[in-house]
Amino acid sequence: MSLARRIAALFRAKAHRVLDSAEDPREVLDYSYSRQLELLNQVRRGVADVATSRKRVELQLSQLRESAARLEEQARQALSLGKEEIARQALTRRATALSRADELQGQYASLQEEENRLTAASRRLQAKVEAFRTHKEVIKATYTTAEAHTRISESVTGLSEEMGDVGLAVQRAEDRTAQLQARAGALDELLASGVLEDATLPAGRDDLQAQLEGAVAGGDIDEQLDRMKRELHAAPASAALPTAPTPSAPAAESTPSAPSAESTSPVLSTESTAGERRDQEGTS
Amino acid sequence: MIVRILGEGQLDIADQHLDELNALDDRLQAAVDAGDTEAFTGALQALLDSVRRLGTPLPEDTLAASELVLPDEDTTLEQVRSLLAEEGLIPG
């Protein structure tokens, strides 16, 4: 027997077991009807569960995208201050956030599909519940043993098949949702830790934000020092001669013009690659 | 003939198409017997495509049993086997 016939036979066998177990075939009608209502509730719960999971994934996706944008901003800021190590850290975390987002996008699509399927299943079952309810009252009213048995058998078999089908769909959705829950939970923890949002949070190294802020503050102080030094040089030209070479050496190292010109080009190049990456995201 | 695609519903297929469907059904069965995963996926897809193309969806409130029941394209050979191995797997 072919595969498709065997599966069909399985569904029928199930219905026949139910029919055979009843002394009066009319009992089967009521039993089937109550099972149907139970299943309908189960499908509706299934739809709600899948929708909840989908919304959770949706939220995580938008969090990851915000993180990526924030990290890119941090990288740019760090680079403009000449802190390449921090910029590298931020870009690495940005890449992680983006790849998580890619994975999630796939899961999101499959959840969406599952939700559509279940919604359709629930609608079909609802229509059959209505049809069966009318049918069962008619059969009960016109009950004449042999005839009724055939008609009950027909409708119960058709119904049982639908219920088996919908039951399988619910099981499948439950399995998939359970798998996703586990993964979503892990990602929630990761997002809550902030590691995917903020390159300045510790991830086994020093607090990068503190370094960044230190660098900003340090820059200001260096500038002020330079200005003071220049003022000092300008005023007592001859008197301070012996002490002059010592402060002038570090001052030359931190001359603002040279390093800032140097750091401009890398900022531009990362911007353009980041822009390209964003374009790709947009098209995918 | 009434054919069900699991998760999608039932379709009615006119008798003149039965030969075509039977040929595809045989191909699917051969793949299952051979345990050939790739052939299984291909044959199932071909059969599903034909059923969708040739069949007319039954009204949703129809209460009729199907002659053929097909798993949808996401189903693996392994899942089909476990479905066949244990009747109890069918809920409802």
- A244 domain residue, yes or no: no
Residue span of the structural domain in which A217 resides: 210-231+274-284
Q: Is residue A40 part of a domain?
A: yes
Residues A75 and A156 in one domain: yes
Residue A215's pLDDT is 63
Among the partner-chain residues B7, B25, B84, the one whose CB lies closest to the CB of A121 is B7
In a domain, A260, yes or no: no
Half-sphere CA count of A281, side-chain side, radius 13 A: 20
CB of B3 closer than 8 Å to CB of B70: yes
Residues 6+ apart with CB under 8 A from B33: none
| pLDDT tens-digit readout, B21-65 | 888 988 998 898 888 999 999 999 999 999 999 999 999 888 888
Q: Tell me how close the Cα of A40 comes to any Cα of chain B, in angstroms.
A: 10
B33 to chain A, any CB pair closer than 8 A? The answer is no
Beta pairing class for B56-57 and B68-70: unpaired
Tell whether B88 is within 8 A of chain A (Cβ).
no
What is the C-alpha to C-alpha distance for residues A133 and A153, in angstroms, rounded to an integer?
15
b vs e for A94-127, b when ≥16 Cβ sit within 10 Å of the residue's Cβ?
A: bebbbebbeebeebbeebeebbebbbbbbebbbb
- Which CATH number characterizes residue A93's domain? 1.10.287
What does the pLDDT look like over A32-66, one tens digit per residue? 888 888 888 888 888 898 888 889 889 999 999 99
pTM of the predicted structure, to 2 decimals: 0.63
ipTM, 2 dp? 0.86
Asked whether A64 and A56 are in contact (CB, 8 A), the reply is: no
Could you say which of A121, A135, A157 has the minimum Cβ distance to residue B65?
A157
B66 to chain A: which residues are within 8 Å by CB? 8, 11, 161
Let me know if residue A185 belongs to a domain.
no
Report how many domains make up chain A. Answer: 2
Residues A161 and A82 occupy one common structural domain: yes
Closest residue, chain B, to A35 (C-alpha): B92
Q: Does B85 touch chain A (CB under 8 A)?
A: no
Residue A100 lies in a domain: yes
* Local structure of A244: helix, strand or coil: coil
Co-location of A13 and A71 in the same domain: yes
∠ CA A73-A186-A102, nearest 5°, is 50
